[in-house]
Amino acid sequence: MRRRFTRRSFPANTRPLWASLTLVAALASAGCQTTHGGPQTGAIPATATIEASHLSPEQAVAEVQKWGAAYSRDPKSKEAELNYAAALRAVGQTGQAVALMRKAVIYHPEDREVLADFGKALADDGEFPEALSTVRRAQRQDNPDWQLLATEGGILDSMGDHEGARARYNQALVLAPGEPQVMNNLAMSYVLTGNLSEAEELLTKAAADPRASLRVRQNLALVQDLKAHPEKAASYGNRQATAPPPAAIAAPARTARFVAPQPLPTAGQDGDALYPTEEPPPATEENTWAELKAKG
């Protein structure tokens, strides 16, 4: 049976906040977003080779196959754990990614990279308080990592603590001056509170950087559109005002259950592309700023 590529939804009103912040915590592929001047203070060495947000649906399915097989061969392999979890997140299997990374933390309890990716998986699954504590556990106060600071900022924004989030982004920018993805996240934090002028200024600078991702340019276009159409900005602000308070955002506590990788059909078996064996429930919220903009 052909499986649809869908994405699991976050708890109501929280998924768009997290998904729209282009997280700069590319901890598994830090080389993709290095700053000028070489390695930054506290940078975590990268083991994994893929980043969930950088994959197309087709690429994500292929990576699930590849790293699911590698993980089956060696469940304690850090490389397989991180890459398989990233691939699962890319196809919307966030709960399975959390369960996998929860097990990985047992094997690597003090590994900063594993803890950081566990935090990212938790945030993708809407478990923001645990994600926040996990990311903070991975951080070293005497040698901070700017990507972890930016990840913490994204989580705080999703929990409604915008001032705290901006403090983390600004700390990250001290360690990684001009980093376009951090500037993007800071700008979108201002969008969440209606400060479109500040957001546009930051995004204009970020988009001019050759390292800027497509998402940065999409967010700049969104902000410019919101400024040109105040009624859209008001509608967006009203929508965010209905979000639950931070204490209500966390998903209900539950016992993690690891779902072992299942065999996937071979290419050409039924003429369909390869899909994950479990189908996530349909998304109920828009997943990107571009989709929000298109919906108006």
Nearest CA among 144, 71, 156, 155 for reference residue 112: 144
Instruction: Name residues of the chain where pLDDT drops below 70.
Output: 1-49, 51-54, 233-296
Question: What does the pLDDT read at residue 47?
Answer: 63
Give 44-54 pLDDT, tens digit per residue.
455 666 766 66
pTM of the predicted structure, to 2 decimals:
0.66
Domains of the chain: 15-177 (1.25.40.10)
Question: What does the pLDDT read at residue 233?
Answer: 67
